[in-house]
Amino acid sequence: MPFRVRIDGKEVILEKRTTILNAARRAGVDIPSLCYDERLQPYGSCRLCMVEVKGKGLITSCSTFVEDGMEVNTETPEVVKHRRTILELLADRYPAEAAKLDTRLSQLLRRYGVEAKGAEDPRLMDERHPWISVDLSRCVLCYNCVRVCEGYIGRLIWRTLYRGQQTIVMPETGSLATSSCISCRACVDVCPSGAIVDKVMASARPTSWGETACSMCSLSCPLRVGFEDSRPVYVEGRRDLLPFAAECLRGKYHWEDLVYVPERPEGPRLRRGGRSWSRASLDEALGVIAEGLRKATGEGGPGSVGVIVSSRLPAEAYYLSQLLARAALRTNNVDVASSLLPSFSELAPIGGPLSTLPLSSLDDVDSFLVIGPLEDYHPALASFIRRQSLQGRSRLILISSEDDKLANAADIHMAVDVRRAPDALRALRWRPPRRDSWTWPRPPSCCLTRPPGPLRSGR
């Protein structure tokens, strides 16, 4: 049954039940919000999204569902007075310097003409993390960082300390740099006050954007690339396809190591006679390649040539290389020089070129068996598995080192030296011999740190 709602005099017809805030957005009415993020469950901590509903008074629009026939007013004098009071309370502590930036809070302060009066407190600033700056004097206690890190990423980095006026959020160890943060940047993405900031983005000024697929692992996450003067300066996950920008350190930050390495040739080079390389034009290099391929295929057929592609290229280059090999040269001899990645990461069968399965196809998996430090090679897949396990949707059996970053999410952790993972796999097949046997082999040296239990509730 469709819902008919009137928001600021505009009639909105909704096919599905949704919150007042979302209904208003659909009607083009902008209700201010600070703690609301459509990717998280509504929490209702900031109270800035208050609206007046006929017959009900002031209520938070981010956490209240519409009802058929509801009449909502979003900017009555009482609503505006309420919002200004909240903003003035926040502005008392919010640093004036931060109010000049383009944060969600500073935009609201400008919109309602409220002046920030606080000052930055060096004791609350932390620049030790390589990618993320923290300035908790800007924090407005919306708890988005706590909720996204715990509920979505499966880490418990952000903690709430003290009570009442003294309440503060802090990383578990006092500093992100010494915490078990995996640099996924999800907390940066949801912080509305600029208290947690991406250092790279803070200095980058992209003037145009493009889209690509990450080639750092076989998941091929969809990415947006920001360019300044045609040079890539910033990378983030596509928000329409990845809920929190991106979850992977490699895709977001390590592209610089690939693009801006000094050894990278900036144009084609040829060996003319001797062993040394000399610069060549693209046309000249292509001419030499075409000539060589024509000669080789003429003499030995398509199977006598092959294409080996650098592993330091964008995903589009791999697609074009396949086309060149299979469609133009008529050979299946095409491969990637994978010296960049350990060979077993190439085997990951989900989401990558070896499979058409997206990550979401793992939603219904009962149990994952992870061998080795998955977090180091497939951070996005590791985050997915951690979340599934912590939310009780799947069981996680981990065979890896004692300090593996997935250990806190594992139901069973077989702590072994990763170099001995094959022994651990053999041990899984170990069965005690019959009681009347002469010899009694030693049990495997690896240990079960947590006993296998039933699948947790919440499934």
Which of the choices ligand FES, ligand SF4, none does residue 326 contact, using the CB cut-off of 5 to 8 A by kind? none
Which of the choices ligand SF4, ligand FES, none does residue 145 contact, using the CB cut-off of 5 to 8 A by kind? ligand SF4
Q: Would you say 185 or 224 has its CB closer to ligand SF4?
A: 185
Dist. CA 284–CA 97, nearest whole Å: 55
Distant-in-sequence, close-in-space partners of 349: CB < 8 Å, separation ≥ 6: 218, 355, 357
Dist. CA 268–CA 361, nearest whole Å: 42
Question: What are the phi and psi torsion angles at 197 (to 5°)?
Answer: -130, 145
| DSSP string across 21-36 | HHHHHHTT-----SS-
- Using CB under 6 A, pick the residue from 4, 6, 26, 47 that binds ligand FES: 47
Which of the choices ligand SF4, ligand FES, none does residue 331 contact, using the CB cut-off of 5 to 8 A by kind? none
Taking CB atoms within 8 Å and a gap of at least 24, the contacts of 38-44 are: 39/148, 39/152, 39/190, 39/243, 39/244, 40/144, 40/147, 40/148, 40/151, 40/152, 40/190, 41/147, 41/151, 43/142, 43/143, 43/144, 43/147
Asked if 36 interacts with ligand FES (CB under 6 A), we say yes
With tokens 């006092």, the residue in question is: 174
- Using CB under 6 A, pick the residue from 7, 23, 24, 46 that binds ligand FES: 46
Asked if 48 interacts with ligand FES (CB under 6 A), we say yes
**H or E segment at 6?**
strand 3-7
Which residues in this chain contact ligand SF4 in the complex, by CB under 6 A?
139-145, 148-149, 153, 155, 157, 169, 176, 181-187, 190-191, 193, 195-196
Q: Would you say 109 or 329 has its CB closer to ligand SF4?
A: 109
Which of the choices ligand FES, ligand SF4, none does residue 325 contact, using the CB cut-off of 5 to 8 A by kind? none
Closest separation in Å from C-beta 48 to ligand FES: 5
Dist. CA 372–CA 401, nearest whole Å: 7
Asked if 109 interacts with ligand FES (CB under 6 A), we say no
Closest separation in Å from C-beta 63 to ligand SF4: 17
Number of residues that bind ligand FES (CB under 6 A): 12
Q: Would you say 195 or 242 has its CB closer to ligand SF4?
A: 195
Closest separation in Å from C-beta 108 to ligand FES: 11
Dist. CA 449–CA 403, nearest whole Å: 12
Q: Would you say 40 or 242 has its CB closer to ligand FES?
A: 40
CA–chain centroid gap for 10, Å, is 37
Q: Which residues bind ligand FES (CB under 6 A)?
A: 33-36, 44-49, 60, 62
